[in-house]
Amino acid sequence: MKNPGAFLKNDDGAMMIILSVMVLALLTIISISALKTANTEVKIASNEYMHQQNFYYAEAAAIEAVDHLEALKEIAEGSINWMMTRTGATNFDDQIFDFWKAEKEPGDAIPNRASLGHGQAEWIVVHHGALSGSSLDMSKPTKHVFSIYGKSSNKAWVMIRLGYTKAY
């Protein structure tokens, strides 16, 4: 019977040790690469979850604003602190981010906190005035155009805009 450790005493044994070390090194590199990929995927999933949560909170805030508008029988200019008037300002989307972050001046609309969103969701309404051509017939109610903005800012900023028309 041959000695079981005899192959380590010749050249075949040295080659076996080198081959084993190379395989272990290759497996280590593959494991580290897989670990980094898994960590990146976890971060991506976490960011996607946070974005979706913020989106749904912003949407809920905007829908809450719609409910407040629906409850109003008539809109008296300047009497509602969460509504601003921007007649003809259809490009307010570019300025709304700055408006939310800036100090509010007297007469500015104040964003209203939504009941959902853990205090992170807010909404604001912009009244753009009467719909073009809707005020010509005095026997019918005038249609007014609104932009409703919902925002959520829990570790990220998400804002949505809803267009809304109401006759009164």
pLDDT tens track, the chain, 168 positions? 566 666 556 666 778 889 999 999 999 999 999 999 999 999 999 999 999 999 999 999 999 999 988 888 777 666 688 888 765 444 566 777 777 777 777 667 788 888 876 788 999 888 887 777 766 666 777 888 888 999 998 888 889 999 998 887
Cα-based torsion angle of the residue sequence 22, 28, 33, 36 in order, rounded to the nearest 10 degrees:
-160
pLDDT at 26: 97
pLDDT at 84: 80
pLDDT at 89: 47
Q: How far apart are CA 118 and CA 57, in angstroms?
A: 9
Q: How far apart are CA 43 and CA 40, in angstroms?
A: 5
- Across 1-96, where does the E strand assignment appear? 83-85
Q: Which residue has the tokens 């100090």?
A: 103
Contact yes or no for 61/125 (Cβ under 8 A): no
Q: How far apart are CA 46 and CA 39, in angstroms?
A: 11
Contact yes or no for 146/126 (Cβ under 8 A): yes
pLDDT at 47: 92
Q: How far apart are CA 163 and CA 90, in angstroms?
A: 11
- Number of continuous H segments (helices) and E segments (strands) in the chain: 2, 5
- In this prediction the pTM is 0.73
pLDDT at 88: 47
